[in-house]
Chains A and B, each alone.
Chain A
Amino acid sequence: MDKLMNLKLKVWRQDNADDVGRFEEYEAHDISPDMSFLEMLDVVNEGLIESGKEPIAFDSDCREGICGTCSMVINGAAHGGQKGTTACQLHMRHFSDGMTITVEPWRATAFPVHRDLVVDRTAFDRIQQKGGFISVRTGSVPDANAIPVPKDQSDLAMDAAQCIGCGACVAACKNASAMLFVAAKISHLSLVPQGQPERERRALAMVKQMDDEGFGNCTVTGSCEAVCPKEISLDFIARMNREYGRALIKKGTI
């Protein structure tokens, strides 16, 4: 086993949504390089609980990079800045002994902080509810391959469908723009036959909800793509822009 590490943490603490919040410093002792970042926080939290202090609140669920809940900005980079990696999949071996690590919540007006590192990401749910689905008849399961989907289209749709809704794109963007997320969702369904009936309505409605939630506007900085744990491509934002233009011309309004 590799040498255990001792680290200093500077963590954002905020008791509730109304609290102004502050940074607090902690020490993390005997951290194995094989631990994930969240396991390291677990160790720190156990220490805090033992000494009668309030543990650091953070979100996590799957801990295998698929649920998208483990939102945290580590040393200024959403999810820590390793290519295609969520915070739960980030190993402590990327950090060096004695280092100070700053941990902050996502910062976006549309993602208010609930507590410590936990932010309210229901804005994404509301965007999804406006069109990130297809309406299908109920009834028996359709035959497999009843609807032919061209391979290249389905590959591209699956690339977009990778998005786990983690919000890192918003967190990293200097404008707190949600366009990478929305682009992934709109593109995914616009690329497959099942998504065609609601194609225009979806683009118009999801973009409108995105605006109403108070996310910023894309200025093509590429920060989102760089931190996205699912490596969603900026190309999808161009595709969303096309989809939106198409929907405006064909339909005009939701």
Chain B
Amino acid sequence: MSNVTTEDVQAAGGSTVMVPRPPAAAAHRIGSFVDSRLTGLVLKRTATAIVLLMVVSVLSFVLISLTPGDEARAIVGLGGTHEQYLHVRAELGLDKSPPEQYWQWLTRAVHGNFGETLTTSEPVTSSIQTRLGVTISLTVGSMILSFVLGVLFGVISAVRGGVTGRLLDALGVLGFAVPSFWLAAVLITIFAVKLGWLPSTGYVSPSVSLGQWLQSLVLPVLALSIGGIAAIAKQARDGMLEALASEHIRAARASGVSPTSIIFRHALRGAALRVIAVTGWIAISLLGGAVFVESVFAIPGLGSLAVTAATQHDIPLIQGVVVCFTVIVVIVNLSTDVLYIWLDPRVRVA
């Protein structure tokens, strides 16, 4: 008889992938194995982060050197003398060659000094510091909402199917199509203007009033979350469906494992992996969305800061925001990796 290993059932619709496995590892070495993987991962991510920051900073320098205007001229203004102009130029380091200028910026940046904003002459770092907390509370709130509702919707859609499932799927599609800034405007119309339940714009610091702080965040968080909810719901749904169709779920069912356990212990774990895999991406898109949502609600965060900086051509300031966002994304990605290892022991550091 021919040497067949696949079986008719697989051919008829199932799919089982044969993966060659490495020889067994001794069980007692697992602990140290995970540790070394973690260290490697942290090192790798940090290295990527450094490269990323270098790329971002070089890029912004190249962009700036392409700028037609002259920062020093702009600062001194039309009335300034030539001496004043030269002085400012030297102060800004603009008389040096671009690589030298870059080096100067970099050495300062490493020490946490991103220069001063062109418009207010405040240190960029302090401008960012005062606004960082605002953006973080907005994005973390949206992150939590996106995960909770996204996973809930995704799982319900996968497990229930039918009308409920299709309704949720349709909502998901809408979530991708509705721009956050427009949804923000709609939410203001309904909840602030028509119903008067919540403030339409503005931000209250938690140190002033915790209740008002929460109130001022409700609409922004809702507007910002819609895309995240849709994206996570899709991942959770696909992950659940894939997990439910997998061989090990079939084996678990054949062994009499209860349906509840199948869904919540076995399949959800598989779906969680997919959701976590997109966390970094969600974080990036939430930070991007914050740019718009903060502008709509007049929230003094990094996003609205970046917009103001862009309108006023305040390049050092916007550079600082880019670096700050990049660092946040790197941190999110690193924590995602650690979570991933914790949930899926098979993950190897590529």
A-B interaction: no
Binding site for B on A (CB under 8 A): none
By a beta-carbon cutoff of 8 Å, the part of chain B in contact with chain A is: none
